[in-house]
Chain A
């Protein structure tokens, strides 16, 4: 099976812009989670979608949003970008919703905000 794929792999934006990142889960996986990874804060959970519904949410401002489509593909949107949003954004998929499920991570999208 193909692994989790994320597009684009690299992105440069300026402050105030918005960005949309895409994640395609492993075939058959219905849960997609998003994480932000930075050197200072480490890996932080953004949110999880399962069957097109947001199931869990981390402690991020409302500028960070997501959605999941009927084919389980997911998008994450960040509006009004700030310099501190520069990070590696990881997507992970799992068969079921979080709760003992193994997550399979993608390569990430590296976002640089200038």
Chain B
């Protein structure tokens, strides 16, 4: 079955630490992949997306993700997190709009 999975449920980091959140998908064909973020008390919003071209995608607020087809992965990265990055992060693939379970990121000041 088609699915999107996120490995980490809750990640706790200190400010300035590097971040990598895992995302794997399990379907073939045209692949459109997204990372969405939900800051406390706010709506879900797009961080970045991949649908073709350069597999390294840059998004807002210094986030980036790399699409690695051979690994069926689309991991989210940020070299240095800030307290304001505390949020829930969702990976999604839109062949049938499947969302991962989400990863809660807590950044300690």
Q: Which residues of A contact B (CB under 8 A)?
A: 3-4, 33, 35, 42-45, 48, 56, 58, 90, 92, 98-108
> Which residues of the partner chain A approach B102 to less than 8 Å between Cβ atoms?
42-43
> Which residues of the partner chain B approach A104 to less than 8 Å between Cβ atoms?
45-46
Write the chain B residue with the least CB distance to A97.
B94
Q: Which residues of B contact A (CB under 8 A)?
A: 30, 32, 34, 36, 43-46, 49, 51-52, 90, 92, 94, 96-102
> Which residues of the partner chain A approach B97 to less than 8 Å between Cβ atoms?
33, 35, 45, 48, 56, 58, 98
> Which residues of the partner chain A approach B46 to less than 8 Å between Cβ atoms?
102-104
Contacting residue for A3 out of B30, B43, B101, CB 8 A: B43
> Which residues of the partner chain B approach A102 to less than 8 Å between Cβ atoms?
34, 46, 49
Contacting residue for A45 out of B45, B51, B96, B101, CB 8 A: B96
Write the chain A residue with the least CB distance to B51.
A100
27 A-B pairs whose Cβ atoms sit less than 8 Å apart in the complex: A3-B43, A35-B97, A35-B99, A42-B99, A42-B100, A42-B101, A42-B102, A43-B90, A43-B102, A45-B98, A58-B96, A58-B97, A90-B44, A98-B97, A99-B30, A100-B49, A100-B51, A100-B94, A102-B34, A102-B49, A104-B45, A104-B46, A105-B36, A105-B44, A105-B45, A106-B43, A107-B43
